[in-house]
Structure 1
Amino acid sequence: MLISLTKVRIIFSYAITNVYSQKVLAAGETKHAWTNKSLKPVNAESELPEVYSLLKKIMEK
C-alpha cells in the first residue's frame, strides 16, 4: 500500500498474511527516494510527471 508521497520520497507499507487463517505473518514499510542515474535526489513531479501524477491520484483515493 502506498502510504506517503512527496516530490522526493515515497513510502510503501505491506503485510504478509496466511491465506487460510488471515493471520499477519510479517508487516513493514519501505522508504524510497526519487533519484537520477547518478543517485542524486530529483523532483519526481518535474522529472517523472506521468508517474508522479498517477501515484498522486492513488494517494487521493
Structure 2
Amino acid sequence: MEKLGVYTAVAEAYCKYIKPARYDDEVVIKTRIRRLTDVRIEFEYSLYRKEDNELLATGYTVHAFVDRNIKPINLKKKHEDIWKLLEEAM
C-alpha cells in the first residue's frame, strides 16, 4: 500500500491485559479486520501464550487512511483495488 502512496495513521489504540506474559514466553497474536469504512480500518487483536494457548490480552486499533502528506483519503474512491482486497479479507 505504501508504494501506492496509501498509509495508515493510528487514531486510537486499546489493550486489555488479562494475564501476564513472562520475558521468555513465545506469544501468538491473532489479528482480524473488525470494521472497514471508506476512510478508516479497525483491527482487533488477541494475544495468546504459545505454550498453553492461554489468552493474555485483547485489543484493537483504529487507523485512518492517509496519503504521503498525512492528508485523509477515501480509499474506496482512490484505490478501489486495495479496498476490494481488504473487504474480501473481512
Give the structure-1-normalised TM-score: 0.86
Decide which of 38, 41, 48 is 2:79's aligned counterpart: 48
Q: Which is higher, the Rg of structure 1 or of structure 2?
A: 2
Provide structure 2 residue ranges, at least 5 long, that are not aligned to the other structure: 1-31
Decide which of 30, 34, 38 is 1:3's aligned counterpart: 34
- Percent of residue pairs bearing the same amino acid type: 32
RMSD, aligned CA: 1.0
- Greater percentage in strand: 2
Matched with 2:68 is 37
Offset of residue 13 of structure 1: 0.7
Tell me which stretches of 4 or more aligned residues in structure 1 moved more than 6 Å. none
- Residues 15-24 or 2-11, more deviating: 15-24
